[in-house]
């Protein structure tokens, strides 16, 4: 491409230089050496990567405490519940299916005096196929019983996990907990029902009733949970009534073997795994009267109360513990995931609110033991002195 001279366009035109002249100046300047410690911080980079990461690897240890552990798998009478079996016994491996749940939503409980009460609903995000449990090496509890280790063979990205309430469908509250969910596997003998598993549900009159628990779940299934109270204005949730599962085992009465009774056992089916915490302080911002700096700090999950008023609680960063409440988490962060370890004491206890169960355990008579039948060989004056 060529630029045509102005004189070739018009005889009265004057040719002009259309090029920009660049002035080259040779001016020496001192090169300043940067202090890389002020530019690059391995700690800051680690903290930033950990905060942006939302992938968890979950594992832990379980201590199983129950009379049903080591019990005969073919019990008939009450006495069978107090005799430990070495073979053909009920144990943690054959008595439970283990799932992982996340809180997915909340359905309002009809109540004329308090409209803040909700039933918490849980969604299945991992099934027994993803759960591995095995004996913990060289580990027993104070009763000499085996303890167990577990792990999930998949990782969990919680970035897309939010909770919604019926009355506030536009709220997206980040999930702060997952839940380990053991489901007891009931036994039948032909057409005879030997065991039942039941949990609480709530009817339209706001009353708890017992219903059979679904024992076969797949990914995406919804599990009926506990009762919580949620304050929309305070961005705060608290558990009012925890869920309890009841295992009913049919036995024959000792005095009348032909009579069938039910021993009832209770356990908490939702074992929390804490991912993170919300701050104890509440943030309030009005979009019409607040500075730009304050508006830019409003997170995506903040609750729009009304008229441009937003409330929220900050998520505490990993490794930070609130100096007042002492809450916080600090999980190892390696290979682009956080390692969440859970130490569980899993208990199944007799339901002493059940009339027959209370009668059985009230009438238990323990034989004398020789463990404590000895006289001490020393006295208080010898405490702290060398052994003879």
Q: Give the pLDDT confidence score for residue 187 in this predicted structure.
A: 85
pTM over 0.85: no
Could you tell me if 346 and 62 are in contact, meaning their C-beta atoms sit under 8 angstroms apart? yes
Q: Give the pLDDT confidence score for residue 268 in this predicted structure.
A: 95
- Ramachandran bin of 138, using left for φ above 0, alpha for ψ from -120 to 50, beta for the remaining angles: left
Q: What is the mean pLDDT of each run of 10 residues along the chain (388 residues)?
A: 73 73 76 63 83 93 92 84 83 94 84 69 95 91 88 94 78 90 88 87 73 92 89 86 91 61 94 93 79 74 83 91 88 93 94 92 73 57 66
- Ramachandran bin of 327, using left for φ above 0, alpha for ψ from -120 to 50, beta for the remaining angles: beta
Q: Give the pLDDT confidence score for residue 244 in this predicted structure.
A: 93
Domain spans in the chain, listed from the N-terminal domain onward: 64-279+345-363
DSSP string over 242-255: ---EEEEEEEE-SS
Q: Give the pLDDT confidence score for residue 199 in this predicted structure.
A: 92
Strand-strand pairing, 162-165 and 96-108: parallel
Q: Give the pLDDT confidence score for residue 350 in this predicted structure.
A: 94
Neighbours of 4 (CB within 10 A): 7
CA-CA distance, 109 to 112, in Å (whole number)?
Answer: 10
Could you tell me if 339 and 57 are in contact, meaning their C-beta atoms sit under 8 angstroms apart? yes
Q: Give the pLDDT confidence score for residue 339 in this predicted structure.
A: 96
Q: Give the pLDDT confidence score for residue 379 in this predicted structure.
A: 64
Structure tokens that stand for 240 in this block:
């009012």
Could you tell me if 146 and 87 are in contact, meaning their C-beta atoms sit under 8 angstroms apart? no
CA-CA distance, 94 to 87, in Å (whole number)?
Answer: 13
Q: Give the pLDDT confidence score for residue 176 in this predicted structure.
A: 93
Q: Give the pLDDT confidence score for residue 380 in this predicted structure.
A: 62
């Amino acid at each position: 491409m060529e630029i045509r001279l102005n004189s070739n366009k018009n005889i009265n035109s004057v040719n002009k230089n259309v090029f920009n002249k660049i002035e080259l100046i040779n001016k020496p300047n001192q090169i300043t050496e940067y202090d890389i410690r002020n530019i690059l911080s391995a700690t800051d980079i680690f903290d930033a990567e950990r905060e942006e990461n939302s992938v968890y690897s979950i594992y832990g240890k379980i201590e199983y405490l129950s009379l049903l552990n080591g019990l005969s798998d073919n019990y008939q009478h009450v006495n069978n519940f107090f005799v430990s079996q070495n073979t053909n016994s009920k144990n943690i491996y054959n008595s439970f299916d283990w799932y992982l749940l996340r809180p997915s939503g909340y359905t309002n409980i009809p109540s004329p005096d308090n409209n803040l009460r909700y039933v918490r609903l849980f969604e299945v995000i991992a099934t027994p196929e993803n759960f591995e449990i095995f004996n913990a090496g060289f580990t027993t509890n104070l009763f000499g019983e085996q303890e167990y280790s577990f792990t999930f063979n998949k990782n969990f990205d919680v970035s897309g996990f939010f909770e919604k309430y019926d009355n506030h469908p536009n709220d997206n509250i980040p999930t702060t907990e997952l839940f380990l969910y053991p489901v007891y596997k009931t036994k039948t003998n032909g057409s005879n029902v030997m065991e039942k598993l039941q949990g609480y549900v709530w009817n339209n009159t706001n009353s708890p009733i017992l219903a059979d628990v679904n024992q076969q779940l797949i990914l995406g299934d919804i599990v009926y949970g506990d009762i919580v109270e949620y304050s929309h204005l305070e961005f705060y949730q608290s558990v009012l009534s925890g869920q309890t599962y009841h295992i009913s085992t049919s036995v024959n009465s000792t005095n009348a073997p032909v009579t069938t009774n039910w021993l009832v056992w209770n356990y908490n089916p939702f074992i929390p795994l804490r991912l993170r915490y919300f701050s104890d302080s509440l943030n309030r911002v009005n979009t019409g009267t607040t500075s730009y700096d304050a508006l830019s700090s409003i997170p995506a999950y903040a609750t729009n109360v009304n008229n441009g008023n937003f409330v929220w609680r900050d998520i505490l960063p990993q490794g930070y513990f609130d100096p007042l409440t002492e809450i916080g988490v600090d999980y190892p962060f390696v290979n682009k995931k956080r390692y969440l370890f859970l130490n569980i004491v899993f208990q199944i206890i007799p339901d002493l609110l059940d009339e027959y169960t209370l009668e059985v355990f009230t009438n238990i008579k323990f034989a004398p033991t020789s463990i404590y039948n000895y006289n001490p060989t020393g006295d208080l004056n010898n405490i702290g002195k060398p052994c003879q």
